[in-house]
Amino acid sequence: MGSGDYLTCSSNIVVNKDLSATVTLELCKVCYKSMLTVTSDPREWIENVTHNRARKAGDIIYKHEIDRHLENGTTPPNPTKGNLILEYEIPVVVEPSTDSVYDDPVATELQAEKEKTQQLEVRLSLLESTLASLIS
Nearer to Zn ion, 26 or 44 (CB): 26
Taking the complex as a whole, how short is the minimal distance between the CB of residue 11 and Zn ion, in angstroms?
Answer: 10
> Hey, which residues does 24 pair with through a beta bridge?
12
Nearer to Zn ion, 9 or 127 (CB): 9
Nearer to Zn ion, 31 or 110 (CB): 31
Taking the complex as a whole, how short is the minimal distance between the CB of residue 7 and Zn ion, in angstroms?
Answer: 4
Chain-centroid distance of CA 113 in Å reads 9
Contacts of 79 (CB under 8 A, 6+ apart): 66, 69
Strand-strand pairing, 10-15 and 21-26: antiparallel
Helix H or strand E segment including 12: strand 10-15
CA angle 24, 26, 31 (to 5 degrees): 135
Taking the complex as a whole, how short is the minimal distance between the CB of residue 57 and Zn ion, in angstroms?
Answer: 25
Taking the complex as a whole, how short is the minimal distance between the CB of residue 32 and Zn ion, in angstroms?
Answer: 8
Residues of this chain that bind Zn ion (CB under 5 A):
7, 9, 28, 31
Say if CB 128 and CB 34 are below 8 A apart. yes
Give the residue nearest to Zn ion (CB): 31
Nearer to Zn ion, 32 or 102 (CB): 32
